[in-house]
Amino acid sequence: MSSEATAKAIQAELIRIDGLRGLLFARHREVLASSAPDERLLILLATLLKLRKQARACLLLAQEFMVEEILATTRTMAEVIVNAAFLQFADGEELVRFHHFDTQSLYRHSEKLNPITSRELTVEQEAELQGFVAEARSLTQLTDKAQSWSRTHPTLISRADCVEGKMADSFMPALVLTAYSWAHRAVHGTGDAIRPFYGALGSGEVPLSAERLEEVRIALSFVTFCLETYAFFIDRFLHQDRQVEILAISKQIALE
């Protein structure tokens, strides 16, 4: 693909992302107007709003051609999408674990941090902290060493497969294997995460080569895929029957 064609493809992705953000926000308003959300629906809508903000962040990052930062954001987008969809089918105990796991997990990390901090907790603060953690342990029924909030499907791909089993053609497994997995290097700081910056020595900026433009296009296509996947899921799960609108946005092309 020539640089001119890649630039047009990038423009098309930007148009689609903006269109999907608008569509999702409109759907959020429609759902709120029709009924008061219960806990599971609240998770769907809160996730929708988070995705809109994350997509907006990616649009801003694209202005500076920040490929790695866009990829890192799409990894989180993919994870919150799968979790929100999975929780629509999970039992009540999984919902509880989802809400309280962070308290327990952060305590584990804070214990490791204590030896290298200069500020000690007062007896009252420690007692309060222990109370919060004890409550979280009681609710999650997980050990402090647990790596996942889900007991039934501890890995993201297994949760994606669960959603696929409930709703065929959910695109959730594909989302994990593309947007989530592809961003591994950007999140974990492996060699590929810093290699583009070898060319930034001296100027401070990664050269905007044809290859770099293509990486921007791919990163933005993952943003589009995340938004499309969630839009389709909500449409089918809530029986809105308006997939034509999503498809129309997804087929938009760059302006001449």
Tens digits of residue pLDDT in 201-256:
888 888 888 999 999 999 999 999 999 999 999 999 999 999 999 999 998 876 54
What does the pLDDT look like over 151-188, one tens digit per residue? 899 999 999 999 999 999 999 999 999 999 999 888 88
Check if the beta carbon of residue 255 is closer than 8 Å to that of residue 47: no
Tokens of 90: 């999970």
> Cα separation of 10 and 62, whole Å?
9
> Cα separation of 141 and 143, whole Å?
7
Largest distance between two CA atoms of the chain: 67
pLDDT for the residue 196: 86
> Cα separation of 24 and 205, whole Å?
35
Selection from 84, 87, 63, 60 nearest residue 73 by Cα? 60
pTM of the model as a whole: 0.86
Answer yes or no: is pLDDT of 139 > 80.
no
> Cα separation of 158 and 151, whole Å?
11
pLDDT band, residue 200 (cuts 50/70/90)? confident
Check if the beta carbon of residue 21 is closer than 8 Å to that of residue 230: no
Cβ–Cβ contacts within 10 Å for residue 102, how many? 11
Selection from 180, 174, 175 nearest residue 71 by Cα? 180
What does the pLDDT look like over 89-121, one tens digit per residue? 999 999 988 887 777 666 554 555 454 455 665
Spell out the domain ranges in the chain: 3-90+156-250, 93-151
Residue 230: strand, helix, or coil: helix
Scanning the structure block, which residue is given the tokens 């423009």?
11
Q: What are phi and psi of 239, to 5 degrees?
A: 55, 45
Q: Of all helices (H) and strands (E), which one includes residue 222?
A: helix 210-237
